[in-house]
Chain A
Amino acid sequence: AQSVTQPDIHITVSEGASLELRCNYSYGATPYLFWYVQSPGQGLQLLLKYFSGDTLVQGIKGFEAEFKRSQSSFNLRKPSVHWSDAAEYFCAVGTSGTYKYIFGTGTRLKVLA
């Protein structure tokens, strides 16, 4: 069965520090992978997505993610975190042919001034 694991429930970083959020997936074929961000009281906004090709994808707000097939991972990174990045981040896998998304449990990011 397909699944998405985000091992870190909470992460706290200082403003200006680098960030890496982990995501591991289980899927039988080449996955479609996504990172979404949810600010308090808001819906989900797409940060970036991977379908094929270059395994390092760039997204909005200075985020990037790297697909590593051998590790079944799609970790999200940002070189320098801003206070406005405090939010909840969800990794998701798209299931081919069914238009369904499976979401991880989310990582809540706190940014210290």
Chain B
Amino acid sequence: SAVISQKPSRDICQRGTSLTIQCQVDSQVTMMFWYRQQPGQSLTLIATANQGSEATYESGFVIDKFPISRPNLTFSTLTVSNMSPEDSSIYLCSVDSGGGHTEAFFGQGTRLTVV
């Protein structure tokens, strides 16, 4: 199994500012995933981050708004840029256990409130 630590666990930010969320995994993983969970809604995949290459973004998400770094096999960051109240969500980091669809592990999430 993989243990994922996310920081910060929660934050309240002013509109127009940016927040960087960190995700640390206790083992090396090829793919890391970032999800958004808007209030009362399900999880939506933002992007897939592979080490050594550009992140792949899902429809509706762009790199300028959600830049992602993946400097090594155990760490990734997601930045929420130029925030507005609509960005208030829980952001979750996830990794696949390997071999395709054996299991996805999730961090505890970062609860972001934009005021």
Q: A103 in the interface, Cβ–Cβ < 8 Å? A: yes
Residue of A46, A97, A99 touching B31 (CB-CB under 8 A): A99
Q: How far is the CB of B103 from chain A (nearest CB, A)?
A: 5
Which residues of A are at the interface with B, using a C-beta cutoff of 8 A?
Answer: 32, 34, 36, 41-46, 49, 51, 90, 94, 96-97, 99-101, 103-106
Counting contact residues on chain B (CB < 8 A from A), the size range is 20 to 34
- Cβ-defined contact, B92 with A103, below 8 A: no
Q: Contacts A43-B92, A43-B109, A100-B48: A49 and B42 contacting too (C-beta < 8 A)?
A: no
Task: Please encode chain B, from 87 to 111, with 1 for each CB lying within 8 Å of some chain A CB and 0 for all others.
Answer: 0000010101000111111111101
**Contact indicator A99/B103 (Cβ below 8 Å):** no
Chain B residues with Cβ under 8 A from A100's Cβ?
33, 45, 48
- The answer, among A43, A96, A101, for a CB contact under 8 Å with B108, is A43
A-B contact count (CB 8 A): 53
Q: Which residues of B are interface residues toward A (Cβ below 8 A)? A: 4, 6, 31, 33, 41-45, 48, 92, 94, 96, 100-109, 111
| Complex Cα–Cα for A99 and B45 (A) | 11
Instruction: Report A-chain residues with C-beta under 8 Å of the C-beta of B43.
Output: 44, 90, 101, 103
CA distance A105 to B4 in the complex (A): 23
- Chain A residues with Cβ below 8 Å from B111 are 41
Most buried by A among B6, B44, B45: B45
Minimal Cβ-Cβ distance residue in B for A97: B100
Of B6, B42, B96, B105, the contact of A105 (CB 8 Å cutoff): B42
Give the most central of A32, A45, A46, A100: most B CB within 10 Å: A100
Query: Contacts A43-B107, A43-B108, A44-B106 hold; do A99 and B42 have CB atoms under 8 A apart?
Result: no
- Whether B103 lies near A49 (C-beta < 8 A) is yes
Rounded to whole angstroms, the CA-CA distance of A77 and B31 in the bound complex is 32
